[in-house]
Structure 1
Amino acid sequence: MSELQVLPVPSGVGVVGILPLLSELLDGTAPAALPVPAADERETRRLTDALRPGEPIDDGVALVVATSGTTGVPKGAMLTAAALRASGEATHARLGGPGSWLLALPAHHIAGMQVLLRSVLAGTEPVVVDVTEGFDPAVLPAAVETMTSRRRYTSLVPTQFVKALDHPGAVAALASLDAVLLGGAATPAPVLQRAQEAGITVVRTYGMSETCGGCVYDGIPLDGARVRIDDGRVLLGGPMLATGYRGIPDHPAFAEPGWFRTDDSGSLTDGILSITGRLDEAISTGGLTVVPQVVERALNEHPAVRECAVFGLPDERLGRRVTAAVVAESGTLPTLDELRQFVERTLDPTAAPRELHLVDALPLRGPGKVDRRALESRFG
């Protein structure tokens, strides 16, 4: 056994300095590494305290990538070099071949790390957009212009993409790429419609740290990936699957050999996967169950809603009441009554929000995932 090493991941263009080490990790010639954000001491401490670098780890593990789960305590998905290669090669096969990548995500998370690993596999150097101080779509045109490979890709989260759609130069730059991968959270249908009208090739990805990132593209599993539904729950398998969680050998998510038991609910129709929500985020209200993501999809159709998140708050009568936090479109001021009526057009009245909070931005955990617990703490 070797010992798990800390891999400080720089922000900005300095991140290309770790590409040689990533190449060694993919070849299986470097000890297992735990990526941490080099410029964030607090997050580095949180990850190292939980995942214990310096202690032994199985020789087959290449990376231990922290999850961005809802418990607040990071789990470390143990990914082998073979799994990372399988993921990268299946991605390029689905997209039409290797190419150059634009990195606009924190690279210590799996989505950003995969941009670097795919670049190594393609033999290209990624173009890097520094997101240390946030994502600025105004820098995309110049960044995309420097990408010289025949095929060009990037990976974003929906919150970034929404910003980019409001910047004409960024829209044109993204439209010139062969694919824009969108993952981390569900993308609202109106956003996808705007992208289509702008000529942007969007690929919706589904996956997590435990599957080396996205393993289902536009509802269809990548080569080798497997999907099945067990009592409404999504299970994932295939060569890109993690071997388990560091230090938690008996975790129930990996209890069935060859499969990862997600906390997502979904369905398979003619081989196409649809995700309906998170099983651990469902709201029990008045004896009924409301899935936040279903309500969010309905709210996102309203012309005054730019972004939204639905969560539950304690209620003496109902147990939990459905609550919405909304980032309104510029110049609009949606009211609770109009949003309730709008939701009730397509969903049962039980699902319509009973409380509304207009916010400037939604809190996030990890890349692009809404932090519902932060909203519950703020408004509860």
Structure 2
Amino acid sequence: MRPLHLDGSPAALDALKGALADALGGGPAVLPFTDPALRDAMAPGEPAEPDTAVVIATSGSTGAPKGVLLSARALTASAEATHHRLGGPGHWLLATPAHYIGGLQVLIRSLLAGTTPAYLTGDGFRPDTFAAAAAKLKGGPRYTALVPTQLVRLLDDGGAGLAAATTFDGIVVGAAATSAALRERAAEAGVAIVPAYGMSETASGCVYDGVPLDGVRVDVSGDRIRIAGDVLAHGYRRRPDLTAESFDGGWFTTSDRGVRHADGRIEVLGRADDMINTGGVKVSATAIERCLTAQPGVRDACVVGLPDPEWGEAVVALVVPAGEPREAAELRAAVRAELGAAATPKRLEYAAELPLRGPGKIDRAAVRVRLLAGFGG
């Protein structure tokens, strides 16, 4: 297996692109990473599982590291189906981190199209740097992939970045839900977006604007969305137990709930577990609650995700103090130090007790209603 550290430089991205070309041709599996601890959890010194071209390392829904095993067939099927849906191979701008599947697929689509991608590098996402990177694309069609937070920033700025966004033939928006309001704003501004649903296990987005890509089957008849097709991963790195739990008979069982409407379009209703998707980053409500309740002066806590026009979902906490309440800033700092910026509550409120349902179970719906009543973003 070939680990590649992505330091944000164009040279590192060029190296990744070359390694991906080798992997798709039968060469060593690629493990792109930014976190050395996550890399080490993938046992990079040991051979990759058979038919693996890429290992996408993630922290997992519970914080336990896991590596998604993707074959050349799955990666290629996803890229080709995306091009077919968008209107043909084109020129891509990489604007999201390449160690995530959405960014990595931009490089693979460029490889298959035989085009040279442009890179948005540097610290953070800014409309001006997006415009500068977009100007480097030569020829068309022009495509990029963004998360909703990035799209909101372009729309809010209204300057060169938004002007550049209107020049793209298609902008795939994924990693978090695209609200109806955001879709309307994009349409009014002349930005051609394609909301996408998918994950690492499906080699990136596999349902575009409610319609599965060619070769993808989606089942919403049960309590979880299930997906089948050539785009599927073939398991998890060194975790046959997780593989057997999630992959069965050619189907992958997601953590999401969904419904198919009369016109055939699929709507994702939300996660069936406790994950919060904020700005395209998945964080665990349970992990945040454990961090909060481990702090002195905190007796209990409930964390939920609330709709937010910029972040998709905002992390908000309701805390029951033990004695004199601690400053909210101190608790937020503790979460940031242990779990990172994405997991840090945007707002934190206090209550004498948490609403319960049944034998001691927190009524999350009641917590959400209470927090929504005063939520200002």
TM-score (norm 1): 0.74
Name the CA distance, whole Å, in 2 between partners of 1:265 and 1:229: 7
3-state SS in 1 of match to 2:252:
strand
Name the CA distance, whole Å, in 1 between partners of 2:173 and 2:314: 18
**How many residue pairs end up in the alignment?**
309
1:352 corresponds to which letter in structure 2? Answer: V
Contact conserved, 1:306 with 1:326, CA < 8 A, in 2? no
Point out the more displaced range, 349-358 or 195-204. Answer: 349-358
Q: Give the deviation of 1:60 after TM superposition.
A: 1.1
> Which residue among 54, 64, 70 is the counterpart of 2:61?
70
2:58 corresponds to which letter in structure 1? Answer: T
3-state SS in 1 of match to 2:3:
strand
Residues 297-323 of structure 1: CA distance to partner in whole angstroms, max 9, x if unpaired?
xx65xxxx886525564669xxxxxxx
Aligned to 2:252: 260
Aligned to 2:339: none
Name the CA distance, whole Å, in 2 between partners of 1:152 and 1:209: 24
Aligned to 1:160: 150
Aligned to 2:32: 35
Q: Give the deviation of 1:50 after TM superposition.
A: 1.7
> Which residue among 246, 271, 276 is the counterpart of 1:278?
271
Name the CA distance, whole Å, in 1 between partners of 2:245 and 2:173: 25
Aligned to 1:106: 97
Contact conserved, 1:66 with 1:209, CA < 8 A, in 2? no
Q: Give the deviation of 1:159 after TM superposition.
A: 1.2
Residues 175-220 of structure 1: CA distance to partner in whole angstroms, max 9, x if unpaired?
1100111111112222221111000000001111111111110111
Name the CA distance, whole Å, in 2 between partners of 1:267 and 1:92: 26
2:133 corresponds to which letter in structure 1? Answer: A
After the TM superposition, which residues 176-191 of structure 1 pair with which residues of structure 2 at under 5 Å, given as runs? Answer: 176-191=167-182
Indicate yes or no: 2:214 matched with 1:223: yes
Name the CA distance, whole Å, in 1 between partners of 2:274 and 2:311: 22
3-state SS in 2 of match to 1:89:
helix
Q: Give the deviation of 1:231 after TM superposition.
A: 2.4
Contact conserved, 2:148 with 2:312, CA < 8 A, in 1? no
1:309 corresponds to which letter in structure 2? Answer: A
Name the CA distance, whole Å, in 1 between partners of 2:311 and 2:5: 35
Residues 124-156 of structure 1: CA distance to partner in whole angstroms, max 9, x if unpaired?
11100114x111111222222221122000111
Contact conserved, 1:278 with 1:291, CA < 8 A, in 2? no
Cα gap change, 1:212/1:157 in structure 2, threshold over 3 Å: closer, same or farther? same
Q: Give the deviation of 1:74 after TM superposition.
A: 2.1
Contact conserved, 2:176 with 2:312, CA < 8 A, in 1? no
TM-score (norm 2): 0.75
> Which residue among 10, 15, 23 is the counterpart of 1:13?
10
Indicate yes or no: 2:233 matched with 1:242: yes
Unaligned residue ranges in structure 1 (runs of 5+): 38-42, 284-289, 317-323, 328-347, 360-380
Indicate yes or no: 2:314 matched with 1:309: yes
3-state SS in 1 of match to 2:143:
strand
3-state SS in 2 of match to 1:196:
helix
Q: Give the deviation of 1:73 after TM superposition.
A: 1.8
Point out the more displaced range, 118-127 or 161-170. Answer: 161-170
> Which residue among 11, 21, 24 is the counterpart of 1:23?
21
1:266 corresponds to which letter in structure 2? Answer: G
